C-alpha cells in the first residue's frame, strides 16, 4: 500500500517535471524559432523592364541582374528564370538552350529538362508588352 | 607517498589508467589529436576574430587583408583552415576506430551517441566556416546548401534561419558567423567535456575482460607524457602542412556569375558529385539513413551484457567503410573527371 503510494507520488513528480520542461522548451523554442527564422522576404518591385521589344534579339538573351532569360521567337516573347530548379545555381544560355555549371543539368530552348538532375523545367515568368512596345517581366513568382 | 591534492584538470583522468589503453594502437591517439586540432582552431580562430568583418562586402575584403597585408595573416588563416580539415578527417578515423573496437556497448552507448553528435557538430562548424570567406566557391556552396535544405523536413524553416532575408546578403553572413564562432564552438566544448567525463565514468577506455591483464599505471606521468607528445606531433604536422599548402582565396563572390564548373573544396566535392545524380537519392536519403543507422544500430548490435555481437560489429564497420569508399570514389570523379557544365571529361 505504502509502496504503491510512493511509486505513484514518484510517477506524478516525474510527470510534472517532464511536462514542465517540455512546455518550457516548446514555448521558448517556438518564440525563438519564429523570431530567428522569420522569412523576411519583402520584394518591392516585381515587374522589371528589359527594354523595347524591337531591340530584343531573336533567340535567347539573358538579363543576369534580374536572373531572367528572354526567349524571342518572331514577335512571341517568353521569359524563363535562370535559377536552376535543381539546387539554385544560375544557368548559362547558349544557342542550344541552358546548362548549369554546378551539377550539369541541361535544358532546351523552352527550358525543359534534357538531362541531368534537375527535377523540373525552368520556371516560366509572366511577360507583358506595353502599348509602347516595352517588355516587362514579373520576377515576383521567382522570389516567392 | 601521501595523498596529494589533485588539480582541476587532473580530474579529466582517473588517478590510475589501464596500461592497455596507453598503447598507441589502442586509440591511435585520435582523441588527443582531435583535442589538439581543437586547441589550434580556437587559438587561430580567436586571432582571426580580431580582423574578420562579417558582412557581404566586408568579409571578402577582410580576407584579402588577412591574406595579403597582416603579418603572418596568411599563415594563421592557413593553420585554421588545415586544422579544420584535419579535424574532420580525424573525426572520421576516430569513428572508425570505435566501430572496429565495438566500443559502443552497454553504458558506453551514451558516450557513443555524444561522440556522433560531436561529429555532426564538427561538420556543421566546418561547413559554416567554409562559407565565411564569401568567395565564389563559398557563395555557390551556400546557394546550393540553402536550396538543399528545402528538401528536408522543416527545411524552409532552417533555410530562413540561415538566410535572414530574401537573398544571400549581410544578414546571412552575420548568422553563419555567429553560428561558427559562438553557437557550434560552445556546444563542441560542452559536449567534449561530457565526452571525456563519460570515458572516466565508463571506467576508462577498456571493458575489463579475463583475457587481458588489468595492470594499471598512474595517469601522472604515464598518460600525460603520451598526450603531450601526441599534442606536439599533431601541432608540428599541421604547421608543416600549412607551410607547404597555403590556403587559397578564390575570386570575390559574384552572385550572378557561377564559375564553370564551380567545384566545392576537396573534402566536400564528393557531396556535389552525389547531388549531381539526384538531390533525393544522392543527398537527402544518404544523410537521413546514415544518421539513423549509425545512431541506432549500435544499440541493437550488442548482446544483453553490452558486448558487440561479432557479425553485427563487422556489418556496422563494413557499412561505414563502404559509405566512405563510395564517397571517396565520388570525390575522385568530381576532382579529376568533371569539366565545364559538370560533364565527364573522358
pLDDT per position as a tens digit, A53-87: 888 888 888 888 888 999 888 888 899 999 999 99
For residues B169-183, average pLDDT:
95
Query: Which residues, in sequence order, are bridge partners of residue B217?
Result: B17
In terms of residue numbers, what domain contains A24? 1-40
CB A71 within 8 A of CB A110: yes
Mean pLDDT of B289-298: 92
Out of B147, B165, B259, closest to residue A40 by CB: B165
CATH number at A123 reads: 2.102.10.10
Q: Are residues A4 and A36 in the same domain?
A: yes
Mutate to test the interface with A, among B165, B334, B342, B345 (most CBs of A within 10 A): B342
Together in a domain, A62 and A116: yes
Check residue B3 and give its pLDDT.
55
Same domain as A82, residue A32: no
Mean pLDDT within A23-46: 81
Rg of chain B taking only CA atoms, in angstroms = 22
A136 beta partners: A49, A128
Centroid of chain to Cα B176: 17
Domain ranges of chain B: 15-203+212-342
> How many domains would you assign to chain A?
2
The confidence score (pLDDT) of residue B213 equals 62
**Calpha distance B194→B171 (Å, rounded):** 33
Residues A68 and A2 in one domain: no
> What local confidence, expressed as pLDDT, does residue A43 receive?
57
Residue B1 has pLDDT above 50, yes or no: no
Q: Does B279 contact chain A (CB < 8 Å)?
A: yes
Domain B15-203+212-342 = CATH 1.20.810.10: yes
- Convert the pLDDT of each residue in B209-245 to its tens digit: 666 667 888 888 888 899 999 999 999 999 999 999 9
The residue in chain B having the minimum alpha-carbon distance to the alpha carbon of residue A42 is B166
Q: Are residues A51 and A36 in the same domain?
A: no
Q: How confident is the model at residue A141 (pLDDT cuts 50, 70, 90)?
A: low
Residues A74 and A121 in one domain: yes
Q: Are residues A109 and A126 in the same domain?
A: yes
**A128 contacts A136 by C-beta, under 8 angstroms:** yes
Q: Judge if A87 and A136 occupy the same domain.
A: yes
CB neighbourhood size of A113 (10 A): 19
Q: What average pLDDT does this structure show over B144-150?
A: 91
| A51 and A22 within one domain | no
Q: Which residues contact A52 (CB under 8 A, 6 or more apart)?
A: A132, A133, A134, A135
Phi-psi region of A135 (alpha: psi -120 to 50; beta: other; left: phi over 0): beta
Residue A27 and residue A58 in one domain: no
pLDDT over 90 percentage in chain A? 26
Say whether residue A86 is in contact with chain B using an 8 A CB cutoff. Answer: yes
Is residue A1 scored above 90 in pLDDT? no
Partner residue opposite B342 with nearest CB, options A39, A64, A101: A101
Q: Residue B247 has what pLDDT? A: 92
**Same-domain pairing of A15 and A68:** no
Cβ-defined contacts of B318-324 (< 8 Å, 24+): B319/B293, B320/B95, B320/B96, B320/B99, B320/B294, B321/B96, B323/B286, B323/B290, B324/B92, B324/B96
B28 in the Ramachandran plot: left (φ > 0), alpha (ψ -120 to 50) or beta?
left
| pLDDT above 50 for A144 | no
- Which pLDDT score, from 0 to 100, does residue B220 have? 81
Specify whether A89 is located in the same domain as A35. no
Residue B8: the pLDDT is 80
C-alpha to C-alpha distances, B257 to A101, B94, B121, B254, B264, nearest whole angstrom:
10, 40, 31, 5, 16
Q: Tell me if chain A has a CB within 8 Å of the CB of B256.
A: yes
- According to DSSP, residue A60 is labeled E
Amino acid at each position: 500500500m505504502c509502496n504503491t503510494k510512493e511509486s505513484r507520488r514518484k510517477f506524478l513528480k516525474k510527470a510534472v517535471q517532464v511536462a514542465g520542461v517540455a512546455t518550457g522548451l516548446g514555448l521558448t523554442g517556438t518564440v525563438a524559432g519564429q523570431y530567428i527564422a522569420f522569412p523576411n522576404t519583402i520584394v518591392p518591385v516585381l515587374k522589371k523592364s528589359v527594354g523595347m521589344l524591337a531591340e530584343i534579339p531573336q533567340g535567347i538573351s539573358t538579363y543576369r541582374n534580374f536572373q531572367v532569360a528572354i526567349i524571342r521567337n518572331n514577335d512571341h516573347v517568353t521569359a524563363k528564370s535562370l535559377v536552376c530548379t535543381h539546387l539554385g545555381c544560375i544557368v548559362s544560355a547558349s544557342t542550344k538552350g541552358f546548362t548549369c555549371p554546378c551539377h550539369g543539368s541541361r535544358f532546351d530552348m523552352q527550358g525543359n529538362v534534357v538531362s541531368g538532375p534537375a527535377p523540373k523545367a525552368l520556371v516560366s515568368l509572366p511577360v507583358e508588352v506595353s502599348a509602347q512596345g516595352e517588355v516587362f517581366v514579373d520576377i515576383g513568382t521567382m522570389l516567392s | 607517498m601521501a595523498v596529494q591534492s589533485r588539480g582541476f584538470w587532473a580530474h579529466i583522468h582517473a588517478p590510475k589508467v589501464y596500461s592497455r589503453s596507453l598503447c598507441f594502437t589502442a586509440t591511435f591517439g585520435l582523441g588527443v589529436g582531435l583535442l589538439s586540432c581543437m586547441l589550434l582552431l580556437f587559438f587561430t580562430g580567436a586571432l582571426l576574430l580580431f580582423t574578420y568583418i562579417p558582412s557581404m562586402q566586408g568579409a571578402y575584403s577582410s580576407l584579402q587583408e588577412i591574406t595579403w597585408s597582416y603579418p603572418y595573416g596568411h599563415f594563421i588563416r592557413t593553420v585554421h583552415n588545415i586544422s579544420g580539415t584535419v579535424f574532420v578527417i580525424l573525426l572520421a578515423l576516430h569513428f572508425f576506430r570505435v566501430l572496429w573496437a565495438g566500443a559502443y556497448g552497454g553504458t558506453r552507448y551514451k558516450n557513443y551517441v555524444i561522440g556522433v553528435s560531436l561529429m555532426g557538430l564538427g561538420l556543421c562548424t566546418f561547413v559554416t566556416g567554409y562559407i565565411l570567406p564569401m568567395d565564389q566557391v563559398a557563395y555557390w556552396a551556400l546557394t546550393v546548401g540553402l536550396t538543399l535544405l528545402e528538401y528536408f523536413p522543416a527545411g524552409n524553416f532552417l533555410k530562413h534561419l540561415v538566410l535572414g532575408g530574401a537573398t544571400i546578403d549581410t544578414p546571412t553572413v552575420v548568422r553563419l558567423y555567429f553560428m561558427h564562432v559562438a553557437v557550434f564552438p560552445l556546444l563542441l566544448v560542452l559536449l567534449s567535456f561530457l565526452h571525456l567525463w563519460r570515458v572516466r565514468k565508463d571506467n576508462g577506455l577498456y571493458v575489463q575482460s579475463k583475457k587481458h591483464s588489468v595492470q594499471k599505471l598512474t595517469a601522472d606521468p604515464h598518460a600525460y607524457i603520451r598526450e603531450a607528445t601526441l599534442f606536439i606531433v599533431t601541432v608540428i604536422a599541421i604547421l608543416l602542412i600549412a607551410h607547404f599548402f597555403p590556403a587559397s582565396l578564390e575570386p570575390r563572390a559574384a552572385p550572378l556569375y557561377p564559375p564553370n564548373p564551380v567545384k566545392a573544396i576537396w573534402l566536400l566535392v564528393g557531396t556535389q558529385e552525389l547531388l549531381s545524380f539526384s538531390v533525393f537519392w544522392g543527398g537527402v536519403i544518404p544523410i537521413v539513413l546514415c544518421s539513423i543507422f549509425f545512431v541506432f544500430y549500435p544499440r541493437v548490435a550488442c548482446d544483453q551484457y553490452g558486448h558487440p555481437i561479432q557479425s553485427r560489429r563487422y556489418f556496422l564497420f563494413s557499412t561505414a567503410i563502404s559509405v566512405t569508399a563510395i564517397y571517396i570514389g565520388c570525390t575522385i570523379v568530381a576532382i579529376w573527371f568533371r569539366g565545364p557544365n559538370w560533364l565527364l571529361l573522358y
